[in-house]
């Protein structure tokens, strides 16, 4: 169910910048709009909105969540086949396939190489066909 942005929106553009599927449009200082055909209900916009102006698919207002508390993907490197599906879903480019550790190394896997860019959308976990990714809170 697609999310919705209310008139409380102040047009700070934080949601548009973090939406993993570019589903939010709007000019600075103007109310933003969610593309209902594209929204994947990941909840990132809700977590990032400073004004609680986002309603989830059921109409409940979303609570903002501080960045350090956003979940991040943990890859089970033994299960991961490096098929790249998670990488192509990750608009933040936080994930990549690891580089070989020696010449001829073919046992590479998905890795969170830019954890600071991750917005915690869970699209990687959702779309991994082998269930090799689990979103988890990072205990600093």
Partner 1 sequence: MKTPTYALIDLNTRASSRYEIPESLYRRYIGGKTLGARLLYDLTPAGVDPLGQDAVVIVNTSPATGTGAPCSSRFNMTFKNVLTGGIASSNCGGQFGVLMKRAGYDGIILKGQSETPCVISIVDGRIEITDADELWGKDTEETQHAFPKIYGKLVIGPAGEHLVRYAAAVSGERVAGRCGAGAVLGAKKIKAIVAYGTKRPEIHDREKFAKYVDKWVRFLRGHPMTGESLPTYGSAGLVSKANATNALPTHNFKYGHFKDAHAVSGETLADKYLLRNSSCISCPIRCERRVEVDGKDVKGPEYETCGFFGPNIDAVSMENMIRLNYLCDSYGMDTISLASTLAFAMELKENGVADFGVSFGNSDNLADIVGKIARREGVYSDLANGSKWMSERYGGKEYAMHSKGLEMASYEPRRSVGMGLGYATSNRGGCHLNGGYLALLESVGVLSMDALSTSAKPAFTAFFQNALEAISAAGFCLFSAQSFVPAVLFKIGPHHPVTRAIGKIATHLGFGVRALLWMMPVLRFNSVFLFPHAEALRLVTGLPFYTGSFVRLGERGYNMERFYNYREGLTKADDSLPDRLTQTPQDPNNPKTVVRLDKMLPVYYRIRGWDKDGTPEKRTLRKLGVQA
| Sites of contact with partner 1 (CB under 8 A) | 21-23, 35, 37-40, 81-85, 88, 91, 97, 99-100, 103-106, 108, 127-131
Residue closer to partner 1, measured from CB, 103 or 139: 103
Least gap, CB of 18 to partner 1 (angstroms): 14
- 88, two tokens: 């192509």
How many beta carbons lie within 10 A of that of residue 74, not counting itself? Answer: 14
DSSP assignment letter at 67: G
Token pair recorded at residue 97:
């396939």
- Least CB distance to partner 1 at residue 119 (A): 14
Work out how close the CB of 82 gets to partner 1 at its nearest, in angstroms, rounded to a whole number: 6
Residue closer to partner 1, measured from CB, 36 or 50: 36
SS3 (DSSP) at 130: coil
CB 18 within 8 A of CB 48: yes
| C-beta of 49 vs 82, nearer to partner 1 | 82
Q: Which is nearer to partner 1, 81 or 114 (CB)?
A: 81
Give the 3-state secondary structure of residue 74.
Answer: strand
Least distance from partner 1 to the Cβ atom of residue 122, Å: 13
55 and 62 in contact (C-beta within 8 Å)? yes
């Amino acid at each position: 169910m697609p999310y919705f942005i209310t008139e409380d929106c102040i047009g700070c553009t934080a949601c548009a910048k973090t939406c993993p599927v570019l589903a939010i449009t709007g000019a600075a200082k103007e109310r933003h709009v969610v593309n209902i055909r594209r929204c994947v209900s990941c909840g990132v916009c809700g977590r990032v909105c400073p004004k609680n102006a986002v309603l989830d698919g059921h109409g409940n207002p979303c609570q903002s969540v501080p960045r350090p508390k956003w979940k991040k993907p943990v890859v089970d490197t033994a299960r991961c086949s490096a098929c790249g599906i998670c990488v192509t879903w990750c608009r933040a480019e936080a994930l990549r396939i690891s580089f070989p550790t020696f010449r001829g190394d073919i046992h590479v896997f998905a890795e969170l190489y830019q954890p600071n860019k991750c917005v915690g959308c869970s699209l990687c976990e959702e779309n991994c066909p082998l269930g090799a990714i689990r979103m988890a809170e990072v205990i600093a």
